[in-house]
Structure 1
């Protein structure tokens, strides 16, 4: 096979099918008919002399050799995007499309705060938003499937740059009328570990809550799949939980009390800690991204657009 038989468009088709595991949805993403997409992938497979996918009536799976081909296809497509960025003379500015993702416990609550500023700052930028878990988002960022991610720091930074944005405190969410309501101040030592409700394994907020409370990975007996379920478990009287500030308030700034069944209490700073329990939210991007200047501008804008109740965290590098 020579290079003339290989097109970037075909590689886009292959990567889309690999990510969506569905030919129809991949065709929709690529704005092409499914028969055309399938025919081009078949043609590419014949040219390569191998099968990229296992096709059944119910699912599409990558073959072992297909996994390697798709990984390299992502590299080729990312380098092609770099070429376009360098060629358009934008000097690293944000143009075209930006694939921005956030962890599940942050995205739904942060995006409403930052979207107006993003739309005003880059009106011609096409934003593609998504959510996921930290490990998955970092993998997609390194593979070039995402351009930047918003998550809790620190993270494994090999090949990545993390821009700290702000500190978000945790509040204690407890049933209305709980014994802790009568306490004049609140510290982590006041919590009963047996009452602590957590997210299921795989959520970084679970690990942060356990660490803040000084508990092992087995701490907390009841788990939830997401923050909204966790909030409703508190409303049902099942226990208490640490709730990120942004998740405790709606777009109007009011606390989400589930009909008055949930109360929130802030934690007091202790003598050995400058801040109450919480997390540092940051923007993470690839070192190799040619839009470095634009992504640094994005981080600077996000620092200026602090959600109410959060605290600025200055980056270690100059703006």
Structure 2
């Protein structure tokens, strides 16, 4: 058995099609089919049930595919150890980050990271939390920037900063002159929210219970930037994270109203696999984050503990 055969059976289990699995592995369908049949002969068990229009792992196949996945992870650790053994801060770091953080944090993070780790560019994947978690588990990403809570077996998290929520209304709105508001006051038929699947949407609904009441006619947007523009145009009001409302994202057509303290907020964190072979890369990120000077981000105390300790 070979690591290549392991990649083939993992791809087939995920795709459920020989043609799609072959395309994913960049080989011809006969090459993939022969390799999997050869592995089944070697192991003496049927890994996949073939039928008209479907391919599905058998019970033992499911267990073997999972073990193959773990074997690939361990093999990749060997490669990474060899590659980064001399310098953990040399070479790309695969960073996953959620949509509601990426446009606002990344420009500041990259500027702060350059002097800390000039030979470590970021290969960035912007996606939803569930997708990023799967990619981290499959070793397609090295570290995530996500909002807590976030729990996954074999993953370490480190809180970075807290970020308050703010109410935004268009100029001329009856609330424009308000100096503060309570979460319970955010209601009505003009509230703009992100579409389902975004963790920030869920956090807003948790912080402002009246928004999800049957009487509220919520309107939806694809991104924070889109919602901010719709509010500025006069379509409605919204609740957004403070970092999305500071310069250069402030807008003279918007009024920003704070919540009565304690303000609803979200806690942002790094997440990486236990035993990640480049702990100094994590510490470099933490050091760069600690150097970001943005009043919207309330950095956690003790964010850095010295290079080489992030795996502790």
Separation (CA, whole Å) in 1 of partners of 2:299 and 2:54? 45
Could you say which residue in structure 2 is the equivalent of 1:135? 130
Number of residue pairs aligned between Structure 1 and Structure 2: 294
Could you say which residue in structure 2 is the equivalent of 1:30? none
1:225 aligns with 2:216: no
Residue 45 of structure 1, CA deviation: 1.9
SS of the aligned residue for 1:211 comes to helix
Matches within 5 A, 1:106-145: 106-145=101-140
Separation (CA, whole Å) in 2 of partners of 1:116 and 1:9? 39
Residue 151 of structure 1, CA deviation: 1.0
1:255 aligns with 2:223: no
1:46 aligns with 2:37: yes
1:171·1:264 contact (CA, 8 Å) conserved in 2? no
Matches within 5 A, 1:196-275: 196-215=191-210, 220-222=216-218, 223-249=220-246, 253-257=247-251, 260=252, 262-270=253-261, 273=262
Aligned Cα root-mean-square deviation (Å) = 3.6
Could you say which residue in structure 2 is the equivalent of 1:31? none
SS of the aligned residue for 2:147 comes to strand
SS of the aligned residue for 2:79 comes to helix
TM-score (norm 1): 0.75
SS of the aligned residue for 1:111 comes to helix
SS of the aligned residue for 1:146 comes to coil
1:200·1:206 contact (CA, 8 Å) conserved in 2? yes
Separation (CA, whole Å) in 1 of partners of 2:167 and 2:12? 43
Separation (CA, whole Å) in 2 of partners of 1:26 and 1:196? 42
1:63 aligns with 2:50: no
Separation (CA, whole Å) in 1 of partners of 2:8 and 2:119? 26
TM-score (norm 2): 0.77
Separation (CA, whole Å) in 2 of partners of 1:96 and 1:63? 38
Identify the match of residue 183 of structure 1 among 173, 178, 199: 178
Separation (CA, whole Å) in 2 of partners of 1:14 and 1:108? 37
Residue 88 of structure 1, CA deviation: 4.8
Separation (CA, whole Å) in 2 of partners of 1:131 and 1:26? 21
SS of the aligned residue for 1:84 comes to helix
Separation (CA, whole Å) in 2 of partners of 1:277 and 1:168? 9
Change (3 A) 1:281 1:177: same
SS of the aligned residue for 2:172 comes to coil
SS of the aligned residue for 1:198 comes to strand
Change (3 A) 1:305 1:74: farther
Change (3 A) 1:130 1:17: farther
SS of the aligned residue for 2:176 comes to helix
SS of the aligned residue for 1:265 comes to strand
Give a deviation string over 1:175-229, Cα, whole Å, max 9, x none. Answer: 2211111223344344334432222222111111112213475575322232233
Question: Unpaired segments of 5 or more residues in structure 2?
Answer: 41-45, 307-312
Could you say which residue in structure 1 is the equivalent of 2:268? 281
Change (3 A) 1:194 1:201: same
Separation (CA, whole Å) in 2 of partners of 1:212 and 1:104? 20
Give a deviation string over 1:16-64, Cα, whole Å, max 9, x none. Answer: 788799579746xxxxxx4x4655423422223468799x9xxx98734
